[in-house]
Amino acid sequence: MNWETITSSVEGLRTRGTDLQKRIRGLRRRLTLLLAVVGPGIITSNVDNDAGGISVYTQAGAQYGYALLWSLIPMTIALYVTEEMCARMGVVTGKGLSDLIREEFGFRSTFFVMVTGFFVDLANVVAEFAGVAAAMQIFGVNKYIAVPIAAVFVWTLVLRGTNRQVEVVFLIACLFYLAYLFSAILAKPDWLEAAKHTVIPNLRFESGYLVMLTGLVGTTIAPWQFFYLQAAFVEKKVNPRQYPQARADVLFGSVSCMVIVFFIIVCTAATLYVSGHREINDAAQAAQALIPLAGRGAGILFAFGLLNASLFAASILPLSTAHVICEGLGFEAGIDHKFKEAPIFYWLYTALIAVGAGIVLLPHAPLWKILIFSQVGNGIWLPVVVIFILLLVNRRDLMGDYVNTLTFNIIAWVTAITMIGLTLVLTYTAIFQNAPPPVTP
């Protein structure tokens, strides 16, 4: 070997080294770009798996085993399609959904959307605190202790933290959803069977089955989440150049949300359904029933997941609701304002938490009726909001080149109409059949 070959091979190594360095640097740059945007999509989708949601998934698994798993794929698409439109609007216009509704549809429409939103969200907040109470009961904590502590915790977390800190806490809460993955593994399900049912649709025309199906859709896609998602991207000052990252965030969020749903259903299917405990009313009951079947660990993990989900949603819902209402009606809003500057915002926020938690503590609270109301309310509110979204996202004067493409519009409208149809069915059954929708915390 002569010097020339040695130096040239060393040279080659060195260039390869710098190549690698460059590539690492490029990768790191791309990662920072992504991290500057990531958050809203993941948080929003995961909050969908709140107390009410987990109850429905639990029952879906307990009553029908793996048979409803196939619905998760179309639901992921529906979730992604609707959320993506809001993310896009937020990024392109730099305005929140309530701002846009106000500017394009006037005061009166906005007012009604906001007032409905307030009551529906309040009912949802009640459901979240009921979830906290139920989960803590499994850990042996009385609800008169657990709920007030949770309320104070939520209130301070959001008001004392900066936006970024709160977001980090929320992202960690998203990680805790993995509790369901572990409790599913501990339940030793038949993975092959589960996989088969996920890809092969199994539509049955029995009323109970259909109600459960609509319940799944209804709890997964909640109207308030669109306002939250769009506002979060606006708040993060994401610009159109970062839109691909924002879209990736939304996509990842929708998929991860559904993966968690998958594990919840699989877990309960493998235990409760197989052993014949099919009449499960809520998630806390399921956690209790899991203990003898899959071991204490699985039950505790399940209850922990419920607690995490309830607290998580209870932190976001009141904040987002107060924000949206104030923004739409033209009051100062946001935690970066002082109390004096935005009194209505702070009062609304506090009232939502205080009343929501307070109702759960009332000795003879008509929780059942409130939960039905929350679901009916979501059902009535959802079509209105989705139609507003579709009208806005197709406005070229607002969206420029970012309006929906024809294909996207077709998918979006089909999704919207299906969702509207399903929620109407659900609303109908909730009101008239008194077969309470599968939601009970």
In the complex, least distance from residue 330 CB atom to another protein, rounded to whole angstroms: 4
Question: Would you count residue 343 as binding another protein (CB under 8 A)?
Answer: no
In the complex, least distance from residue 233 CB atom to another protein, rounded to whole angstroms: 12
Q: Give the number of other Cβ atoms within 10 Å of residue 336's Cβ.
A: 10
Among 34, 73, 77, 103, binds another protein (CB under 8 A): 103
310, 323, 320: which is closest to 357 by C-alpha? 310
From 65-73, 223-231, 234-242, 421-429, span contacting another protein (CB under 8 A): 234-242
Among 12, 106, 292, 421, binds another protein (CB under 8 A): 106
Question: Would you count residue 208 as binding another protein (CB under 8 A)?
Answer: no
From 175-183, 239-247, 266-274, 311-319, span contacting another protein (CB under 8 A): 239-247
104, 267, 282: which is closest to 191 by C-alpha? 267
Encoded one letter per residue, x for contact with another protein by CB under 8 A and - for no contact, window 61-100 reads --------------------------------xxx-----
Query: Contact, 52 vs 371, CB < 8 A?
Result: yes
Rounded CA separation 155/235 (Å): 20
Rounded CA separation 156/147 (Å): 14
Tokens of 423: 């929620």
Question: Would you count residue 102 as binding another protein (CB under 8 A)?
Answer: yes
Nearer to another protein, 56 or 86 (CB): 86
- Number of residues engaging another protein in binding (CB under 8 A): 17
Q: What is the CA radius of gyration of the chain?
A: 23
Query: Contact, 209 vs 71, CB < 8 A?
Result: no
DSSP characters over 331-370 = ---STTS-TTT-HHHHHHHHHHHHHHHHHHHSTT--HHHH
Question: Would you count residue 160 as binding another protein (CB under 8 A)?
Answer: no
CA distances, 200 to each of 208, 216, 261 (Å): 20, 18, 17
Question: Would you count residue 118 as binding another protein (CB under 8 A)?
Answer: no
Among 201, 208, 244, 330, binds another protein (CB under 8 A): 330
List CB contacts of 355: < 8 A, sequence separation 6 or more: 122, 125
Question: Would you count residue 329 as binding another protein (CB under 8 A)?
Answer: yes
Distance from the first to the final alpha carbon of the chain: 77
Q: Give the number of other Cβ atoms within 10 Å of residue 241's Cβ.
A: 9
Question: Would you count residue 339 as binding another protein (CB under 8 A)?
Answer: no
Encoded one letter per residue, x for contact with another protein by CB under 8 A and - for no contact, window 19-48 reads -----------------x------------
Among 160, 237, 296, 369, binds another protein (CB under 8 A): 237
Among 6, 20, 107, 160, binds another protein (CB under 8 A): 107
Nearer to another protein, 36 or 203 (CB): 36
Q: Contact positions toward another protein, by CB under 8 A?
A: 36, 93-95, 102-103, 106-108, 110-111, 237, 239-241, 329-330
